[in-house]
């Protein structure tokens, strides 16, 4: 017996990188905060499996599939021999370990591929974006989740086998997969180190990681509307830098609805909800929208074209699926999905001065104004975080008239219709408060510290 190189460097690098990738992917599978890391290691696992399939035919002797091509019966027989304590020692992979390797390779391939497709269907991101709809992807998502659990069980079985055989044959199998050396007869085929292949593997992985975390993620968000707002002082950088697709927009809808409150993208409620809201606009949560027929028709068309049934974003699909057929919610916060998604948010977070209201979506969702509600653009602010440097004009006006003010973009009936209500380029507001009209004098903007928070369109 002599010290012999059994495992070449590429095989060892593959082994430990795949093990690390699966461990990190598993640990980052829960929660949206780490999704970019989870997806990166999913892609890396796929690349590693592809490499191993090629290396199984081109690598050194004990790295080739031909050296550990055992059938299920041989694997079961070897397992019985281990149970009796009389299993023969194998310089390379033993029959049971070989079967575990084939299962792990197959499961890693299935888990990584279904993960990529699930990302494309569930989040509409990645190389498979748009291949499947949200409803079509549910089966593949289940396969991905159960496949990962099955893979974890096989990994645990594999580690158990390594420990048992190490004790039985009095050799450290884990160490040999680090150093590559084992004690073997002089006639045993020796592996060649293949450092160049290993170096190329390492460079490829580092290059992919550098591209992923700098160009593919960071630069993708540079031109997104919500990211520009973050850079100008609203909110903070998201924990997971995934972005949503650009959704259809409508200036009339945004101007009319956004003048009173933050806009709620039509995808957040089903068609029947928007139809009821527009049909009952004279009692719109205590106020009268007062839209004429042309405005009503135009806004309603945009709402219907982009309602929850259209599944334009993940949130739309999940909201629509959660609402019973006979129910017509008028508030997004009344939908079962919204209630379930926000059930673990602490009361202190709702009471945070930066949040205050459940309808203040933009407090936590940096892309709320765009309607995409991507997981990666979500962050619950801390009470000690600074307030946004810029505010919507309605926030400024409410500092003057109070949070209960109903601010509607109407021509002010208290002044000549031909005159501009204020010289600052702001819309003319006729705020309502306590059922009493109050003429909005722009000079009030310059009272106290309100002047420093003034924002023009």
Phi-psi region of 98 (alpha: psi -120 to 50; beta: other; left: phi over 0): alpha
Give the start-to-end residue ranges of the domains of the chain. Answer: 2-217, 244-341
Q: What is the pLDDT of residue 135?
A: 77
What is the H or E stretch that residue 5 is in? strand 2-5
- Which parts of the chain sit beneath pLDDT 50? 223, 235-236, 238-241, 388-457
Q: Report in angstroms the alpha-carbon separations of 73 from 69, 93, 99, 288.
A: 12, 16, 10, 77
Q: What is the pLDDT of residue 99?
A: 93
Residue 273 CA to residue 308 CA, distance in Å, equals 10
Residue 189 CA to residue 182 CA, distance in Å, equals 12
Asked if 48 contacts 18 with a C-beta cutoff of 8 angstroms, the reply is yes
Residue 385 CA to residue 237 CA, distance in Å, equals 13
Q: What is the pLDDT of residue 362?
A: 86
Q: Which tokens hold the place of 378? A: 């979500």
Residue 206 CA to residue 200 CA, distance in Å, equals 10
Q: List 448's β-bridge partners, or say none.
A: none
Q: What is the pLDDT of residue 219?
A: 54
User: Beta strand 432-433 with 436-437: parallel, antiparallel or unpaired?
Assistant: antiparallel
Does the reported pTM lie above 0.75?
no
Q: What is the pLDDT of residue 37?
A: 87
Residues 6 or more apart whose CB falls under 8 angstroms from that of 213 comprise 36, 40
Residue 131 CA to residue 27 CA, distance in Å, equals 27
CATH number for the 2-217 domain, one of 1.20.950.20, 2.30.30.140, 1.10.150.130, 2.40.50.140? 1.20.950.20
Residue 111 CA to residue 157 CA, distance in Å, equals 18
Sign of CA dihedral 40, 42, 46, 51: positive
């Amino acid at each position: 017996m002599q010290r012999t190189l059994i495992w070449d460097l590429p095989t060892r690098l593959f082994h430990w990188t795949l093990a690390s990738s699966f461990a990190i992917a598993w640990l980052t599978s829960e929660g949206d905060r780490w999704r970019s890391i989870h997806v990166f290691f999913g892609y890396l696992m796929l690349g590693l499996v592809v490499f191993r399939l090629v290396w199984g035919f081109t690598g050194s002797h004990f790295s080739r599939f031909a050296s550990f091509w055992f059938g299920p019966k041989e694997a079961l027989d070897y397992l019985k021999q281990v149970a009796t304590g009389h299993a023969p020692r194998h310089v390379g992979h033993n029959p049971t370990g070989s079967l575990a390797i084939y299962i792990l390779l197959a499961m890693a391939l299935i888990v990584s591929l279904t993960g990529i497709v699930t990302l494309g269907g569930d989040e509409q991101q990645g190389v498979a974006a748009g291949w499947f709809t949200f409803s079509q992807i549910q089966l593949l998502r289940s396969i991905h989740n159960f496949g990962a659990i099955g893979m974890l069980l096989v990994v645990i079985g594999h580690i158990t086998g390594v420990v048992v055989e190490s004790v039985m044959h009095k050799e450290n199998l884990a160490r040999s997969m680090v150093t590559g050396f084992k004690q073997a007869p002089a006639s045993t085929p020796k592996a060649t180190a293949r450092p160049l292949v290993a170096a190329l593997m390492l460079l490829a992985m580092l290059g992919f990681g550098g591209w992923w975390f700098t160009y593919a993620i960071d630069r993708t968000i540079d031109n997104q509307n919500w990211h520009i707002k973050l850079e100008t002082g609203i909110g903070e950088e998201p924990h997971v830098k995934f972005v949503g697709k650009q959704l259809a927009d409508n200036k009339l809808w945004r101007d009319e609805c956004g003048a009173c409150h933050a806009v709620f993208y039509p995808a957040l409620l089903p068609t029947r909800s928007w139809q009821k809201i527009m049909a009952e606009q004279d009692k719109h949560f205590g106020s009268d929208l007062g839209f004429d027929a042309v405005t009503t028709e135009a806004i309603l068309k945009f709402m219907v074209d982009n309602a929850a049934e259209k599944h334009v974003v993940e949130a739309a699909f999940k909201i629509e699926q959660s609402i019973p057929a006979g129910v017509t919610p008028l508030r997004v916060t009344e939908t079962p999905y919204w209630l379930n998604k926000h059930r673990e948010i602490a009361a202190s977070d709702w009471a945070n001065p930066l949040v205050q209201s459940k309808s203040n979506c933009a407090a936590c969702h940096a892309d709320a104004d765009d309607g995409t509600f991507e997981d990666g653009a979500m962050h619950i602010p801390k009470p000690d975080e600074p307030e946004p440097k810029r505010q919507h004009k309605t926030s400024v006006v409410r500092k003057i008239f109070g949070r209960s003010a109903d601010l509607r973009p109407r021509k002010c009936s208290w002044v000549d219709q031909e005159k501009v209500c204020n010289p600052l380029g702001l819309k003319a507001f006729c705020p309502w408060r306590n059922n009493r009209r109050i003429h909005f004098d722009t000079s009030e903007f310059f009272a106290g510290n309100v002047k420093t928070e003034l924002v023009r369109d």
